[in-house]
Amino acid sequence: MAVPKKRTGHSAQGHRRSNWKATKPETTKCPNCGETVLTHTVCTACGTYKGKPVSLKDRVEEVAVKEEKKPAKKSTKKAEKVEEVKAEETVAEVTEEAPAEETSESEEK
């Protein structure tokens, strides 16, 4: 590993670091509310970016609206119809069996 033979002086160190300095962050004004905002970031005051709402609350509402508009898949409709038919058959079987049980009880008495 390389080891320096002599220490770097304060002047040489300062000359080397002369281009290493802090810069002010770039800021712009929000087109929606006029608040000062860092460039390429969402406005913290109104939650918009490039004039479009992107805050979490707005995104949740947009997703909910999109989910309501989606049509159901065809396979799920077929499955629902099959379940409805099965439910109707079981209801019909139960109603048919009930009077038969009552008549058998009355015959036994």
Whether the CB-CB separation of 37 and 29 falls below 8 Å is answered with: yes
2-59 tens-digit pLDDT: 999 999 999 999 999 998 888 899 999 998 888 999 999 999 888 899 888 986 665 5
**Same domain for 61 and 88?**
no
Of the candidates 55, 62, 60, the one whose C-alpha atom is nearest the C-alpha of residue 30 is 55
Does any domain span residue 101? yes
**Same domain for 84 and 64?**
no
pLDDT of residue 37: 94
62-83 tens-digit pLDDT: 666 666 666 655 555 566 666 6
pLDDT of residue 62: 61
Which domain range does residue 108 map to? 73-109
Domain count, the chain: 2
Does any domain span residue 17? no
